[in-house]
Amino acid sequence: MDRRKFMQLGLACSLIPLVSLESSAAPAPAGEVQEDEPQAQALNYVKKASDAKNNSKYKEGNNCKNCMFFEASKNNGCTLFAGRTVEEGGWCAAWAPKPK
């Protein structure tokens, strides 16, 4: 793993405890991740990647489908949204490239 990927993974992991604390007061959501949920907002998740064009972390062409956390075999799941579904064409600030 190169330094850039290591730093991206570190950022993603550092956001998980914050999101977990925030969401512990409400019942765990299920199904498709919605943009207005606290965890999604914390990660700047959008269902359509191009909607993130004003986010400094977004690069054209990056989306959930080519993110290392995307789990196509788990009903388009995402490691950061355990048990939930995200859009293939979505994006969030924790995006990191899939290892080749």
Contact in structure between 85 and 46 (CB atoms under 8 Å):
no
**Binding flags for ligand SF4, 32-51, as an x/- string (CB under 6 A):** -------------x------
Task: Please identify, among the stretches 2-10, 14-22, 50-58, 91-99, the one whose residues bind ligand SF4 according to the rule CB under 6 A.
Answer: 91-99
By CB under 6 A, tell whether 58 contacts ligand SF4: no
Inter-CA distances, 97 with 16, 63, 65, 88, 91, Å? 18, 9, 10, 14, 12
Q: Which of 23, 86, 89, 99 binds ligand SF4 (CB under 6 A)?
A: 86
Tokens of 38: 């606290």
